[in-house]
Structure 1
Amino acid sequence: MEINDSSWEDFILVGFSEYPKAEFIISLFVTGFYTMTLAGNMAIILVSILDSQLHTPMYFFLRNLSFLDISFTTCIVPQMLVNIWSGHKTISYVGCIVQYSVALALGSIECVLLAVMAVDRYVAVIWPLRYATVMHQRICHLLAATSWLSGFANSLFQSSLAIILPLCGHHHVDHFFCEVLVIVNLSCVDTGPTESKMLIARLLITVIPVYIILTSYACIAGTVVRIPSAEGRQKAFGTCASHLMVVLLFYGTVMFMYLQPKNNYSQNQGKILALVYTIVAPTMNPLIYTLRNKDVKRAMRKVIWKDLVKDS
């Protein structure tokens, strides 16, 4: 039987178009958060590069996280805003593939990178005297490269499964961006085997990092409670609190969205959760790290003061 496929047609991103007034309000909300995401994460990258005291493994990984957040939101938000404000909800077939492939890769990288950052905090708390020796520059670069390579490998695997599925003229995407599972659901053939393979890939890229994070923090908690002084316990906890808050925000939404049974999932619910992990979470990361981190706040004041002195 020959399938009449028209895969090369443009996709229609439905987004929140069934609620026109809400869509405009959402666009203002998204614009504000996107601006804060760019400003906050670029500030962290610049400050951690310019201040030599922040040339440590923790801030090396934080720069990677900030760059990821900028890239992830930029992959999605500009297209979303153009579609809302222009009234044309289309995205090209190639553009859709690029968007869901890149978004999937960057999201996967963040899953692994957060686990790497947990390991970094584990070494800092458990072996503070050996921290500089264990987390030397070559190891940091290797761990960062592992995060990036594993994320792109996961995206390549899942995206290749999605690309080969025939769409048979189904091009109305009930989302505000091309998300790989939504595109898979447009197919006119049985997607069960494909979705099963994707589920295994999602489990590997989320469950293994979560296990590493939980194990790291279990060991950290066991060490912290044995510290005799309250000041020492507070200092040890302070080195991990910001990262733990980012982990809870990111993984809480991602796992709730991608690992729950299909019959408990509504598309509107998925759009709201997607707004949280694609737009809100990248904005909160720099706020969490700057508000709770004395080193970053000190470095920012130092850099700003230098600029003011130069200007005067």
Structure 2
Amino acid sequence: MKRLVVIDGNAILHRSFHALPPLTAPDGSVVNAVYGFATTLLKIINDFQPTHVAVAFDRPAPTFRKKMFKEYQAKRPKMDENLIPQVDIVHELLRAFGIATYELDGFEADDVIGTIASKSKVKSKKSKVNIDQVIIVTGDRDILQLVCDDKVLVFMPTKGLSEGKLYGEKEVEERMGVVPQLIPDLKALTGDQSDNYPGIPGVGPKTAIELLRTFGSVENLYHRGARGDWGDMGEALMRKIQAGKESAVMSKKLAIIRTDVPIDILIEQARLMPLNTPAAAEILERLGFRSVLKRLEYAGINKAVEDKTGNVNKKEQISQQQELFG
């Protein structure tokens, strides 16, 4: 079983920064986010036993979404001044670990992750590595749209950094009310407060889910509506849907995670190697992370937990993660 873990670098850094109390290195610099990121990385490796690991990051440059809709993410607060320098330290640590990182101006980490997951799903005789399963680690619900059978799963921390949940298609539908591929349609109708795009004013999640169950997609909703077929929709809702068409179409474009980012991604470069390198040890000593140094010996590449068919046993994975994060 070749398993690729893809970590949403910015999401885990932010979660670590806000979940942990201020922690300072011997030189006085704040390093709580770095510590949280490092310990999460080791837990994930120990839990899921990946053969390959990659980390995706956002870039400070405006993305195509911002160019499409200038108010996109406009209400998000600026990155805390104590977090900014920690981003560079995490990059330095990942280089020392030999872990591949990917980022590209104009795109969010979500899009880079989507592209990695998409390329990893394709079996190729030309490829030196064919990945059997991708596990995405993030706190961002938007990424749930990438879940696909047992091929692509999402692991989301649920309480700080101590607990987490693994999402397959069933878990996504239970949480979101729709299957993974319809999450952009759901956001097209309801909008997204965090990313600050509108959807259709007056349409909430419950109504949106019912509409998608009836019409199947935003495109089909308007296609049938153009023929006068609005199903059992009341007149007030119909007027909202008609008036909000332009906004819904734009919102769906904003919600869709790209899987075609023009970035060179060689999966073989993401092969997980021993993490206890001299360079990593030097950085961890400098930061005062002696407990992390001690744990490196437990972050080796072990045999994956498999069932009789050779597939990862999700129940066993969940049992492992509860033991690890509990």
TM-score by length of 2: 0.23
- What TM-score results when the alignment is normalised by the length of structure 1? 0.24
More strand per residue: 2
